[in-house]
Structure 1
């Protein structure tokens, strides 16, 4: 996989102006530079392989190398170029380039700047060499028009340690350290990238600090500093130091440490009290910081059998044996381990794969909709794998299109490239679908996939048909209804290159189903502002009723119209971490690496929901966590939707509770839960600013849709196609077929007032047509 280079602070170099310099004649090239085969050029020794004239005298302290860089083969990036300069007194490596490098194969000019190990005198020092290199395995690039410049040291010493501190929305304190006997300093500053001589200047400062005010918030600036030794003797300008002024945070987070041992990748309720706990695991231990009702935590360590594999790549959590205690999945680089909690939660049993699995994102989901939670794991270098639950927590391993008799094909590219899986219902047919964010290698390998659940026990890959087959580099995606129009949109977070925000068209109402639920790129102008990386998720951080995107530590606040504002990367860690409610106050918090990031909230209202499926009590109901359920919240301001899911982002496990912000609304009209079993519950007038445990079947759909009073179905008995006759409009209505035991066996949207029921076995069935909390039922016989 690619090396990911993060720029978190500015690197300071000496900028040379007004001092003697020596410019070598250009090395025309092109020079092919390959990983593992660095190219060395001798600029000044007996061989002089560069073939350029070297300086004959001088005392040089620093250098600048300019290179025209172009793509060779093997997917090199310009940011992976590095340069080592060697003299008789030592060497210095510049990696990545000082400027011009990018996570891209596009042609560019890269610059390397730095200070030589010691003063270089060509009359006494034996040599000066340059070593060119590319750092990504199997790649190479072409370097040409290489221009090397050496700069002589000034007599007035350069200031050292320039820095910007106390950075606020409109001000920052600039500081540096005196070198030598200078007592006056000059600074020059401006928008990042400005050219020295064109910026704002402050001269003859007699202190080594300066408060720079009157800045614009959320803006990147550079500054340089120069020493004035008097009598016209000046040092070089040192810089740039780059800093960015703050944007006043919409939501502030406070950080509080806590000790969690091992791979601390999960925020999830472990003991069945619906309060989010923090979980870390090691080879023989599960460490739980268990949340108490007062917001404090109790540390619990449970010794486990030895785990064959640890979650070096991801962790998922759910109650897969339906005993009321949460079980765990560890996704490792060579296999998968399950830790199954006992009925009282005081111990775990272990089961691990014997098959090789290079795990990436992992999930729990009911793949075959039998009421038992199955597991899915992205495979980095082979087709994806999944584990079908027999109902007691024992799993059968399948690899898509590899294992004989594998019932589903859930990502079958031979060399994998599958990184970020997430299970969502993108087309509102009440069937849970699978989106896979992909990365690396050939275009086909890194093209994202949508594996659509057909509602009849089969899945079909159709990303290209709906506009999601992007050959980008991505490790995760964030799904949510970002414009509150009733369907799931998606933010695909780039690990390199550019992020994409894709809007779901929803139902087109033009009579052509191929135009329904397709996706359009609306990134431009949407206010997307996040670094590249691995992690993307969606939550309503400020509880205003609009979903926000959290990507690689940047919170982008949603406006409810597919646009975002007030991006804030100063609140949580770059890795995002796990999300949940760590003090039960109704605001989403985060946890990463021993730190709780508490959301300090605002005055907005909220509601939190824990779904409890009842398959463990009643046959043909849903899995105990309600994973795969669609939850709809109706308030005076409109309808919001969520899907209950286990495993999102790339690495971490977040809360199984469903959270809604409702802004200034002071009431909820109803909450509708569409369970995977086909059961629909409608909870009317629930309280706000509290948590609700919603149990499957406790508020069943009972309101008959009067618009269907004249409905009839024919032929009955039916061979293959069941026709529906009514004066009402059936567009977007959901048809669910149950057998006599109440098991959901078929679920689809109605198209052209008919249903293809050819896949059903001979017998008696019930057809339910439902939409927006109302339904009607009819019985039919399949021949």
Structure 2
């Protein structure tokens, strides 16, 4: 794993005890305990949030977007607290995307910044604890000559390797100049990474700018598992969602209508996860109560043939509310993904966020399983009336239970929901990835943990949900399993590896980072090559 030892002059914040009113709940709000007051004053439709580990010490950090001042990131002090690190980017308009990754492949993570005006650029990590702007000092719309500006109005962004060259290319969503919701949207932007923070605008030649829609967020995912990274885009106000299939020649075509993904709603989040444990990613899109057919949020379940069917009502997730960002996570470590959904109704003073439990039912006659979602009780997550837009998850204190952060708007400071653990005897294993031939952040990789109870598949993203970036360290709940059977990784380079837990000493309760090529064993068409397993896996014990 990449390690960057940094020395920073910062304000240290030490963890103190939580408030007694929340001690009975499994999730307690750590924003007061950590003394973190992070707001998005005068924000509109939300500001960015990331839990990426930018200093590569194995502990997720927090970086928040806003509407003024400098960008502030909170460096994790090994689970004992956070220290605030100001970054040299002065915010001119609301920040819509903050994404950490090793964009120049030099061994440390840099920060991509996108403001609603379209002003965008990078804060470069020098690897020695310092940060430098790659942009000039111009006003809104001005930026580095290496990075074409998106122009107004920008939505979310995401990175993926479109051409398999090992560096990350950039997709930027564009919305519409507010408040002109009735007008056609703007064309989205695709920038090809040429190295050293230099990007070429290939939006037109790639076919990525064919639509003029009100796009909120994109995500990269090889939906058909042909080895090429595709791009999913959600759209607001009457524009069908898109699935841009990578043709392998630098061009993309929208196949959403062919595979049942072209729903027309006020799509507010692009949240991918395998909630039913069939190895295929499913899509959850929040909605307003008047968006599209007016029948609430949508759950698109991917079938064996690669097509999607809409099954929100069958799983009790057709929320007829004004919802925004959502995130899949296994909060109770029972092996299946639960769901957190934010709400902000512009016509009401407050909305109520929801934490939904994935309840699995087994038909005793057929043995078939079904999934239904019900809100956790207040003993798990209490009522919290806010104006929320953005959520991201990660195990901030590395206690083996996933936490999550909610970024709000106005006078509601961010919530840092710390998971104290369920009294259910469940354990977990946490795994990150590091690419060698693939991009260093392994964006686009498929990571699957196999145990006796379940096989759990996750996709590594740099940009997802709504304006967020989750922690790169995936927490896999194992239920009562006392061991795992294997870990498989499908890397963006095309390499497919199987990691033997006996050889690599992978065990419940552990934290590991798997490096591309270190297993020396490939898996093809469900068969395992005969090979020796080396013990080349990085593990953080501190």
Question: Structure 1 pair 594/622, CA: closer, same or farther in 2 (3 Å)?
Answer: same
Match of 1:554 in 2: 354
Give the Cα–Cα distance (whole angstroms) in 2 for the partners of residues 368 and 649 of structure 1.
23
CA contact (8 A) 2:159 2:220 kept: no
**Compared CA separation, residues 677 and 434, structure 1 to 2 (3 A):** same
Task: After TM superposition, list the pairs within 5 Å mapping 1:358-437 onto structure 2.
Answer: 358-380=153-175, 381-398=185-202, 400-401=203-204, 406=205, 408-414=206-212, 416-437=213-234
Q: Is the 1:537–1:550 Cα contact (8 Å) retained in structure 2?
A: yes
Which structure features the higher share of strand residues?
1
Counterpart in the other structure of 2:441: 625
d(CA) in 1 for partners of 2:440, 2:376: 37
2-side partners of 1:533 and 1:702: how far apart? Answer: 42
Q: Secondary structure at the match of 2:218?
A: strand
| CA–CA distance in structure 1, aligned partners of residues 76 and 474 of structure 2 | 17
Out of 70, 74, 80, the position equivalent to 1:295 is 80
Of 672, 683, 689, which aligns to 2:488? 672
Counterpart of 1:268 in 2: which secondary structure? Answer: coil
| SS in structure 1 of the partner of residue 258 of structure 2 | helix
The separation in 2 between residues aligned to 1:280 and 1:499, in whole angstroms, is 26
C-alpha distance in 2 between matches for 1:504 and 1:622: 26
1:772 to 523, 526, 530: 526
| Contact 2:155 2:215 survives alignment (8 Å) | yes
> Which structure has the greater CA radius of gyration?
1
Where does 1:449-528 land on structure 2 (aligned, <5 Å)?
449-455=242-248, 457-496=250-289, 497=294, 498-506=296-304, 516-528=305-317
In the alignment, is the contact (CA less than 8 A) between 1:631 and 1:642 conserved in 2?
yes
Alignment partner of 1:340 is 2:152: no
1:643 matched to 2:427? The reply is no
Q: State the match for 1:634 in structure 2.
A: 450
Q: How many Å separate the matches in 1 of 2:246 and 2:258? A: 15
- Between the two proteins, the alignment pairs up a number of residues equal to 435
Assess, with a 3 A threshold, how the Cα gap between structure 1 residues 495 and 647 changes in structure 2: closer, same or farther.
Answer: farther
- For 2:257, what is the secondary structure of its paired residue? helix
Aligned to 1:239: none
Q: Which residue of 2 aligns with 1:268?
A: 52
Between the two structures, name the one with larger relative contact order (CA 8 Å, sep ≥ 6). Answer: 2
Give the structure 2 partner of residue 21 of structure 1: none
Q: Which residue of 2 aligns with 1:570?
A: 382
Q: Offset at 1:551?
A: 1.4
SS of the residue corresponding to residue 469 of structure 2 reads coil
Match for residue 513 of structure 2 among 676, 693, 697: 693
Give how far 1:535 is off.
0.8
Kept after mapping to 2: 8 A contact 1:382/1:412: no
Structure 1 residues 414-440: Cα deviation after superposition (integer angstroms, max 9, x where no partner):
3x3111212223333343322211112
Q: Which residue of 2 aligns with 1:512?
A: none
Distance in 1, matches of 2:189 and 2:419, equals 37
- Over 3 Å counting, the alpha-carbon distance change for 1:423 and 1:570 in structure 2 is farther
Task: Please state how far the C-alpha of 1:312 moved relative to its aligned partner.
Answer: 3.0
Q: In structure 1, what is the Cα distance between the partners aligned to 2:240 and 2:525? A: 34
The question of whether the paired residues in 1 share the 8 Å contact of 2:155 and 2:174 is answered with yes
The corresponding residue for 1:728 is none
Q: Where in structure 2 are the equivalents of 1:535-554 lying within 5 Å? A: 535-552=325-342, 553-554=353-354
Is contact 2:312–2:318 with CA below 8 Å preserved after alignment? no
Structure 1, residues 261-299: CA drift from partner, whole Å, max 9, x if none? 676722211111121011246777443321122432233
Counterpart selection for 1:609 from 431, 444, 463: 431
- The equivalent of 2:363 in structure 1 is none
TM-score, normalised with respect to structure 1 = 0.52
**Whole-angstrom CA distance in 2 between matches of 1:273 and 1:280:** 19
Q: Is the 8 A contact 1:311 1:330 kept in 2?
A: no
Contact residue 295 and residue 582 of structure 1 kept, 8 A: no
1:278 maps to 2:71? no
- Residue by residue, what CA displacement relative to the aligned partner does 1:710-738 show, whole Å, maximum 9, x if unpaired? xxxxxxxxxxxxxxxxxxxxxxxxxxxxx
Aligned to 1:600, which of 420, 424, 428?
420
Match of 1:589 in 2: 403
Q: CA deviation at 1:306?
A: 4.9
RMSD over aligned CA atoms reads 2.7
Unaligned regions of 5+ residues in structure 2, if any?
A: 1-23, 41-47, 136-142, 176-184, 343-352, 361-369, 408-412, 531-542
Which secondary structure state, in structure 2, belongs to the residue aligned with residue 427 of structure 1? Answer: coil
Describe the superposition over 1:611-645 as per-residue Cα deviations: whole angstroms up to 9, x where unpaired: 1111xxxxxx1111111101011111131100000
CA contact (8 A) 1:537 1:648 kept: no
Deviations 1:195-227 (A, max 9, x none): xxxxxxxxxxxxxxxxxxxxxxxxxxxxxxxxx
Q: Secondary structure at the match of 2:455?
A: strand
- How far apart, in 1, do the equivalents of 2:261 and 2:133 lie? 40
Question: CA distance change for structure 1 residues 666 and 285 in 2, over 3 Å: closer, same or farther?
Answer: same
Task: Give unmatched runs, 5+ long, in structure 1.
Answer: 1-247, 507-515, 615-620, 704-769, 777-783
- TM-fit CA distance, 1:360: 0.7
Deviation at 1:658, TM superposition (A): 2.0
**1:372 to partner: Cα distance:** 0.4
Please, what TM-score do these two structures have when normalized by structure 2? 0.74
